[in-house]
Amino acid sequence: MSTLLEVSGVSVSFDGFKAINNLSFQIADAELRAVIGPNGAGKTTFMDIITGKTKPDEGRVIYGDKGASLLKMSESKIAQAGVGRKFQRPTVFEDQSVFDNLMMALKKTRGPLAVLFFKPSHEDKDKVADLADQIGLSGALHRKSGELSHGQKQWLEIGMLLAQDPRLLLVDEPAAGMTPAEREHTTDILREAAKTRAVVVVEHDMEFVRRLECKVTVLHEGSVLAEGSLDHVTKNEQVIEVYLGR
């Protein structure tokens, strides 16, 4: 398996506080990875750097087959290159229907003129219907997404990410505020997605991480503390000290 994303020696500080400190991280194509760590470990900042929201003070972020540097690209260019991101709070466009939300996310040319003259083909509509099926919202295609329950919004957002067809999927606390049944469904969706692309899941909930059955990276104070299977890292004494032992 080839490396899809390589983050090396990245540091960033906000007003003197080192949010990320010499962090290095790698993920291959079609890999599922969980990133855990206590509050303030730099998980969200880590995602901000990859998606271009925050520019690091030093370090490199190399992505894709050609080894392009993400640091020189704008947020929208990074997204177009195939990096999708799901936020902690579900952020769907509440004023618009589930169909419109998915159609907007569907992988298409993103320029204003192309969008202005865009007409959805039958294929596009079928794709949207398939996606809605996957995320269990086919009955709600024409409802305003503002009406959906919290869990349904989370799924819709995951559906929008899948519609983007990204090569790298960054998911921030997908299980937050979900019922046990919804969590199970979410696990299935993520594991299914990781068969064809790289998926990074940031999560607090150990039970949820255990069910993902994947390699785990533990962050602490902006750098990697341990990496390996969940059983491996939970036996690591440092990890127990900073995170689990409390």
Partner 1 sequence: MTDAALPRRQPFALRFPSVMIFLAILALFTVGVTILSEGFGIGVISTSFIKTLGKTLCLCLVALAMDLVWGYCGILSLGHMAFFGIGGYAIGMWLMYARTEIIVLESLAAAELPPTAQEVSDGIATQIFGVVGSSEFPPIWAFAHSLPLQLAAVIIVPGLLALVFGWLAFRSRVTGVYLSILTQAMTLALSLHLFQNDSGLRGNNGLSGLQNLPGLDDVPQATVSLWFFWASALALGLGYVLCAWIVSGKFGSVIRAIRDDEARVRFLGYPVEAFKLVIFTLTAVIAGIAGALYYPQAGIVNPAEIAPIASIYLAVWVAIGGRGRLYGAVIGAAFVSLLSTWFTGGQAPDINLGFYTISWVDWWTVLLGLSFVAVTLFAPKGIGGLVDILIDRKSPNRHGADLGPDQGALREQEADK
Torsion of CA 98, 88, 51, 231, to 10 degrees: -120
Q: Helix (H, G, I), strand (E, B), or coil: what is residue 218?
A: strand
- Which of 53, 55, 232, 235 binds partner 1 (CB under 8 A)? It is 53
Binning the chain into helix, strand and coil, the percentages to the nearest 5 are 40, 25, 35
- Which of 45, 51, 154, 217 binds partner 1 (CB under 8 A)? It is 51
Rounded CA separation 181/190 (Å)? 15
- Which of 91, 149, 196, 229 binds partner 1 (CB under 8 A)? It is 91
Contact between 93 and partner 1 by CB under 8 A: the answer reads yes
Instruction: Report CA 239 to chain centroid distance, whole Å.
Output: 24
Binding mask 56-75 for partner 1 (x = CB under 8 A): ------------------xx
**How do beta strands 17-28 and 3-14 pair?**
antiparallel
Binding window for partner 1 (CB under 8 A); candidates: 18-26, 115-123, 189-197, 216-224: 115-123
Contact between 188 and partner 1 by CB under 8 A: the answer reads no
What are residue 12's phi and psi, to 5 degrees? -150, 140
Give CA angle at 19 (13, 25), nearest 5°.
Answer: 110
Query: Smallest gap, in angstroms, from Cβ of residue 4 to partner 1?
Result: 18
Rounded CA separation 186/178 (Å)? 9
Query: Smallest gap, in angstroms, from Cβ of residue 181 to partner 1?
Result: 22
Site for partner 1 in 122-151 (CB under 8 A): 125, 128-129, 138-139, 141-142, 144, 146-147
Binding positions for partner 1, rule: CB under 8 A: 51, 53, 74-77, 79-80, 84-85, 87, 91, 93-96, 99-100, 103-105, 110-112, 115-116, 118-120, 125, 128-129, 138-139, 141-142, 144, 146-147, 160, 164
